[in-house]
Structure 1
Amino acid sequence: MNEDVGHRKRALRAELRERRRNMTATEREQADAALSNNLISLTQDLRARYIAAYLSTPDEPGTREFLRWANEAGIKILLPISRADGLLDWSRYDASQEEEDHDILGMPTSSGELLSPMAINDVDLILVPAACVDQRGMRMGWGRGYFDKTLGSMERCPPVYAVIFDGEFLDSVPSEVHDQKVNGIVTPSGVTQF
């Protein structure tokens, strides 16, 4: 890793984490409601019947209301499970499961059947977390590279959208060779395609 790029990424991630922590409960509630509506619109526009998504943590833009809607609409949902080797396994999401599991990184996931990294190859839409995305569609994650590895290894990749807050859509982000672009972003104010 280029030391300068690595330093700029760490500094930007710290700034973005701080911004997320400083959001008020009302700001977060309004952002999450708008975000859910935009995620629903995107899914309907793409006629997606099988998606890969993730359960948001308290600091992330909310995906949980959208996932409940998708589940009720009969859309099949895969959730990622981090592995020690840097790959992602998958599990089917079922909103009726009250109990959440956590993967090796402490990220929330479903307690459903464990599926291999290959399971994602069948989905119509992939929703990924991100720290930020730039005008070219370059996504900067939180530094572990799980989604970059997954997306980079897919033979036929469906549309990939990063889910971020409005202030995380930037002019440019520092990037490296392994970083993967996304096809679009979903924010509280709308859906942007690249």
Structure 2
Amino acid sequence: MVSDALLRDAKSVLRAEVRLGRRARSVSEREAATAGLTENLIALVRRRAPALVGCYLSGSDEPNTRPFLSWAAANGVEVLVPVSRRDGLLDWVQARGGPEQIGLFGISEMVGEVVGPSVFQSVELLLIPAAAVDLSGMRMGWGRGYFDRALESLREHPPVFAVVYDDELLDSVPAESHDIPVNGVVTPSQTREF
């Protein structure tokens, strides 16, 4: 059995590799990835027809969710986006294409009125960030645990899809006992359910 310290080290190494890979992408690679990802996110939402979606607001190196969020707003799809709190939890606001501000950890967040916890409990599809996902559905996040805690807070788990670049869908990722697998992954070239 691999020790917790070795697993944490393996995660740190993989996260660093993913960060380097993301920063090395050219503008044209990012644009092509965004087009494919947006198409796949829209197709997933159309197929599942959720009444309420939870989706992250992408940072500069992450797979770009903004075109999907714009499509959702223009097509009457209700979406919540997270706002980080100092206590390690997430609040959620309606994604309506409004202004953004820099929140904790330098992450851009939408400005808006925080919805009550019962609203987040009614999310029917959750699209979350990841550093990498493996073929069994194990998701490796960025190490702060915000989305893991958000998933744990849900009484009923909606389908959860991690959003990554194609080369971040791996054969395996290091996983600790508290890590929660996802139901699927969306990349620029595919949507895969586990």
Compute the TM-score of the two structures, normalised by the length of structure 2.
Answer: 0.95
Q: How many residues were matched structurally?
A: 192
Deviations 1:168-192 (A, max 9, x none): 0001100111111100000011100
Q: Which amino acid aligns with 1:69?
A: W
Q: Distance in 2 between matches of 1:11 and 1:63?
A: 26
Quick one: which amino acid aligns to residue 72 of structure 1?
A: A
AA at the equivalent of 1:18: L
2:123 matched to 1:123? Answer: yes
Alignment of 1:9-158 (within 5 A): 9-95=11-97, 97=98, 99-158=99-158
Measured on the aligned residues, the alpha-carbon RMSD in Å equals: 1.2
Q: Deviations over 1:118-164 (max 9, x none)?
A: 43211111000000000110000011000011112211011100000
Give the Cα–Cα distance (whole angstroms) in 2 for the partners of residues 3 and 61 of structure 1. 29
The offset of 1:49, in angstroms, is: 2.6
Q: Could you report, residue by residue, the CA deviation over 1:69-113 in whole angstroms, capped at 9, with x for unpaired residues?
A: 011110111110111111111111111x2x202322222221111
Q: Contact between 1:128 and 1:162, CA under 8 Å: does it hold in 2?
A: yes
CA distance in 2, matches of 1:101, 1:52: 19
In 2, distance between residues paired with 1:101 and 1:174?
33
Provide the rounded CA distance (Å) in 1 between the counterparts of 2:107 and 2:37.
21
Counterparts of 2:119 and 2:101, CA distance in 1: 19
Show structure 1 runs of 5+ residues with no match.
none
User: Structure 2: how far apart are the matches of 1:118 and 1:61?
Assistant: 28
Of residues 108-117 and 2-11 in structure 1, the stretch that sits farther from structure 2 once superposed is 108-117
Q: 1:165 — aligned with what?
A: 165
SS at match of 2:121: helix
Q: Distance in 2 between matches of 1:116 and 1:179?
A: 26
* Partner SS, residue 8 of structure 2: helix
Amino acid at match of 2:191: V
Q: SS at the partner of 1:172? A: coil
Whole-Å Cα distance in 2 between the matches of residues 66 and 103 of structure 1?
21
For residue 9 of structure 1, what is the amino acid of its counterpart?
K
Q: Is the 8 A contact 1:88 1:117 kept in 2?
A: no
Equivalent-residue separation in structure 1 for 2:118 and 2:162 (angstroms): 21
Task: Provide the C-alpha distance between the structure 1 equivalents of 2:72 and 2:186, rounded to a whole number of angstroms.
Answer: 16
Partners in 2 of 1:106 and 1:116 — Cα distance? 24
Give the Å deviation of 1:52: 0.5
1:28-83 alpha-carbon deviations (Å, 9 max, x no partner): 10010000000000000001231110111110001000000011110111110111
Q: Which runs of 5+ in 2 are unaligned?
A: none
1:7 maps to 9
Which residue identity is paired with 2:69? Answer: L
Give identity over the alignment, percent.
47
